[in-house]
Amino acid sequence: MGSVKDLEIMKPPTKGDMGVARFHFSDRYSVFDWGEMPDLIENKGEALCMMGAYCFEELEKRGIKTHYKGLVSPNGKLVTTMELEEPISVMEISLVRVFKPEFHGGAYNYDIFAKLAENDEGNFLLPLEVIYRNALPPGSSIFRRLKKGEITYQDLGLDYYPKPEEKLKTPIFEVSTKLEERDRYITWSEAQRMSGMRDDEIAEAKEILLHADNLITEIAAKADLKNEDGKIELALDPDRRLMVVDVIGTLDECRFTYKGLHVSKEIARQFYKNTKWSQDVEEAKREADAKGLKDWKGLCRSQPPKLDPGLREIVGRMYMAAANEFTGLNLFDVHDLGEVVEEYESYLKKING
């Protein structure tokens, strides 16, 4: 079970062959690497499933390999998004092996991936999240990391200190860990060393990221959304060919804005940033780092509160409206996305006085 979707394994992968599995998308959500939060966002799972499936289908039309096999209809038949008559929350995928780095002495050991590379072996998940940034909206982690001195603007390929809401002339590509207790940003050279990828595989990963970024930008524009940033995950098939896995192009994987307002999971993040629990999370992570501990959640002094009920309902409608306009199918009975965003804007004005 993941934080927002469950994995049903139909056929396990082997060294030489991919398996078959199904994602069951849920109405759960997660922020700050916490995992399952204390309440649900209605119809979120179906919306994510449909948006992700649509983006996979469009990506494959452009010649980009993915692990997507189809959506699973109520009678068990695999269908495409264009064949849907009602929202669906189950997606069938090809399954690769997952090798998790071992944690010893306060650090993660990635030697297993070097051995796989030495043997020219594939069919496994790369231990990375690959991130694109087309703009730097308020709330972007870039500003926090710049302020803390974790990165410099030169590291980002910029010749000036960026400002919030800045649109970038060319996308910034970053990479972070995927299989650790909490994600951390790393350099591309470190990512290559950890994953055992060759120079040409790293170059191809960046090329795939650019194609995915451009595709998501085009699809989002249909809903008058701006694709500010997002991430993809990659795997190597049995022949060590790169393919896009997990899910892409959703309100959980991407940060979209509509006339400057967030239309993504960032809304929940912004809500929780103003809670004591958020402060306790940051303190627990710092303490775990200082002590070389893997389990930072055990150090957190509080549990997350529930979302404000009014905000939770607005976010649910936002997921459904975005799915309608991304796919063009209008399978959810909900107002247009623009009207839902106006509801959110009114909510913000009310709580901010």
pLDDT at 105: 81
**10-24, 160-174, 220-234: lowest mean pLDDT where?**
160-174
Q: What angle do CA 69, 72, 77 make, to 5 degrees?
A: 95
* Least confident window among 52-56, 155-159, 204-208, 271-275: 155-159
Residue 3 binned pLDDT confidence (cut-offs 50, 70, 90): confident
What is residue 292's predicted lDDT score, i.e. its pLDDT? 87
Amino acid at position 149, single letter:
G
Of the listed ranges 102-106, 109-113, 230-234, the least confidently predicted one is 102-106
pLDDT at residue 54, as a whole number = 97
Model confidence over 239-275: pLDDT tens digits? 999 999 999 999 999 999 998 899 999 999 999 998 9
Check whether 306 has a pLDDT greater than 80.
yes
3 state SS for the chain: CCCCEEEEEEECCCCCCCEEEEEEECCCCCCCCCCCCCCCCCCHHHHHHHHHHHHHHHHHHCCCCECEEEEECCCCCEECHHHCCCCCCEEEEEECECCCCEEECCEEECHHHHHHHHCCCCCEEEEEEEEEEEEECCCCHHHHHHHHCCCCCCCCCCCCCCCCCEEEEEEEEEEEECCCCCCCEECHHHHHHHHCCCHHHHHHHHHHHHHHHHHHHHHHHCCCCEEEEEEEEEEECCCCCEEEECCCCCCCCEEEEECCEECCCHHHHHHHHCCHHHHHHHHHHHHHHHHCCCCCHHHCCCCCCCCCHHHHHHHHHHHHHHHHHHHCCCCCCCCCHHHHHHHHHHHHHHHCC
Would you state the pLDDT for residue 104?
85
| pLDDT at residue 56, as a whole number | 98
> How high is the pLDDT of residue 5?
93
- At residue 231 the predicted structure's pLDDT band, cuts being 50, 70 and 90, is very high
pLDDT value of residue 237:
97
What is the residue extent of each domain of the chain?
A: 5-273+308-351
pLDDT surpasses 80 at 296: yes
Decide: pTM greater than 0.85.
yes
- pLDDT, average across residues 320-349: 95
Q: Which homologous superfamily does the CATH classification assign to the domain defined by 5-273+308-351? A: ATP-grasp fold, B domain (3.30.470.20)
